[in-house]
Chain A
Amino acid sequence: MEIHDVISADRCRVLHSRTKTEALLELIEIVGEENSVADLEALKKEIFYREQIMSTGIGQGIGIPHVRFPGMKEPIVLVGVSPKGLEDYESLDGEIVKLVFMILVDENHHKEYLRILSLIVQRLKDDGFRKGLFGAETDKAVFELLTGGEK
């Protein structure tokens, strides 16, 4: 599996939000528009409950909110770039978060869930790749940077 298998152009955005809550809602709104999740309110609850247990800001400017959720037909990965950064993300290293990958997988697709998480974390280890994304200015640029750099 490669990144372009799980990412589509219309699920990549440059975020306008300045806070973590707004940013997460902005991403969830995408699936809301697509109508690909039956119970949007429940999804919101899940995402925020998970953040409440422990922040998904893993450091180096990255946040990866992820949940397994009943009734998903296929895994969904939503990507948001916040050029100015989200200051209240509470990441492990205290840095502001500029890149948010939201991962939604059906609750029974445990292995796929781990595979996607692993894939994205691996890819983001590349400093140049990460920094390039931080500077993306349009939705299209985000998508192209994500998929173009792959071997």
Chain B
Amino acid sequence: MNGILSFFSSHVSLEHINALLVLGVVLFGGTWAGRLFQTWKIPQVVGYITLGVLLGRTGLGWIDADTLKNLQPFSTFALGLIGFMIGGELKIQTIKKYGRQFTTILLFESLGAFVIVSILIGTAGWFFFKNAAFAISLGLLMGSISSATAPAATTDVLWENKTKGPLTTIVLGIVALDDAVALLLFAVSSSVAGILLGGGADHSLLPSLLNLIWEIGIAVVLGVGMGFIHYRSIRSFADENRILAFSIGAIVLLIGIANFLDVDVILAAMSMGFFTINFAPRRSKETFKFVERFTPPVYVLFFVMVGAKLNVRGLSAITLFMAGIYLIGRIAGKSVGAILGALVSKAPGSVRRYLPFCLLSQAGVAIGLSIIAGQAFVGTLGDTIVMIITATTFIVQLAGPPLVKIAALKAGEVGLNITEEDLIRRSRAKDIADKDIPSIPENMDIGSVVKIFAEHDNLYYPVVNDEGVLMGILPIETLKDTFLLSDLSPLLLAHDIMERAEFTCREETEATEITDIFRQRGVASIPVLDGEGRVTGMIEFRRMQQHFARQLAALREKATALEAN
């Protein structure tokens, strides 16, 4: 025993175990926490982040700074995937339809937050530090950071709830694009702050602006270029697995290049997604489906790490107070801006009423900018910014996702973005069976059987004995064969012409299992039986498809109706 232990301690590298152990705990625990929160009707993202907070620097400290640094590539990867998926939502048609609303609301809500946070924090800063230059710099920097809205948590909630409609479209567009506005404002603000505080050489306005535009341009060119290469390559691929591997590969490569060149990863990936959905429409549906399937573990990891990264230990009273001011200013600015923007651009009522609730989230970009500020303005200014952003991110990331969910629910957009597969996944036999289909007694003569067929829409009927137990199925093709043989009518009973039921199911059988049988076995109908073998209904492939098609059409109609008011 001792020998084994000493073998392990001397031969197995502890760091190596830890990296995998951390990954395992994070993925396993994160998924579990997400499910747990889901059962409490709280978006799963909050579960991931909460687990991160518990394991991370605020809580147990089990995921420390080194581990976070090691897992950093996964975060970048996740952001890239999110960017790609958001880009895929931006169809040119949609942009044409919502373009004016997009830009108007985007400008109003980001500038609204910028202006109000700048004024409030600037005033509070002057009150606490009695230094005008310091107060203005702090105000401007915090204001610019406040204008960013994190796309990850927001979009995850929307996707989790399968939302569709004007609110969803506008939220997706805005959370993806206001980071660019935030970067622009931050570049201006940090230059102004640099001039005001007289520190550092590289704070002149024009070069930093040009630099930013250059970076954005490079990101877009990279994304579109990779989108083009990816499209050209998968055109000839038929194998699904190869498309998946190649698509993920292309995205990772793009993220890597963007990271290497120090340009915005989200923007680059978004450009690729945008190119793919708009210029390579034929294969893009599959590509997005595959990439989406690949995202869950990466997202779990990403959000747990967002939680783990937050450190709210050692907050001073002043920072807490400032954080409160910042939070109020940001919410007020974004809300007022969003409402004004919606009014000015004549956006649908649901957007005006519920958009403010969807703009709270703040994470990667805000934290990133606060860290840049912390490095550029060493001392009280930088530290204050980092602490305020950390503390408020903590609150906003836990409170934001549930608000997004409530807003989408109130706007009536939840569950409208559903595919046939989703419907099948959540249905059981009892939901799709024809329950009032008449059973044909096996001793019924053909004349009476014909009457039943004439009076009902079904093409397949269960044949039962006098106890209601299934004996076989009577398909219309079989019945048709007897039409010319009227002499036989006293001789032929349902029993004589019925076919054997190859497959049967129970009311609780999952619809996925049933559709598999339909598709793989070429069966046209499956009877539903109770525990004693008695027929309780009948599922016909054709009628099941009609049933799902009708449901989808109703949902689509609902989504369209939302745009009208």
Contacts and interface: CB of A to CB of B under 8 A. Distances in A.
Interface of A: 50, 53-54, 56, 58-59, 64, 66-68, 92, 107, 110-111, 114, 117-118, 121-122, 125
Contacts of A67: 496
B491 A110 contact: no
B495 A110 contact: no
A117 B481 contact: no
Contacts of A50: 495-496
Q: How large is the interface on B (under 10, 10 to 19, 20 to 34, 35 or more residues)?
A: 10 to 19
Given A54-B493, A59-B490, 5 more contacts: A56-B491, A58-B491, A67-B496, A110-B481, A121-B487
A53 B488 contact: no
B133 interface: no
Given A50-B495, A53-B495, A68-B496, A111 B490 contact: no
B413 interface: no
A125 B488 CA distance: 12
B564 to A, nearest CB: 54
Contact of B482 (A53, A107, A114, A121): A114
Majority SS of interface residues in chain A?
mixed
B551 interface: no
Nearest to A111: B481
B443 interface: yes
A68 B499 CA distance: 10
B478 interface: yes
Contacts of B481: 110-111, 114
Contacts of A58: 490-491
Contacts of B478: 110
A64 B497 contact: no
B252 interface: no
A104 to B, nearest CB: 12
Given A107-B500, A110-B478, A117 B490 contact: no
Contacts of B492: 117
Contacts of B499: 110
B491 A122 contact: no
Nearest to A64: B491
Interface string B470-496: 000000001001100101101111011
Nearest to A121: B487
Contacts of A54: 443, 493
A122 B488 CA distance: 9
B442 interface: yes
A64 B496 CA distance: 12
A49 B405 CA distance: 61
B488 A121 contact: yes
B488 A114 contact: yes
B62 to A, nearest CB: 65
Contacts of B490: 58-59, 92
Nearest to A49: B495
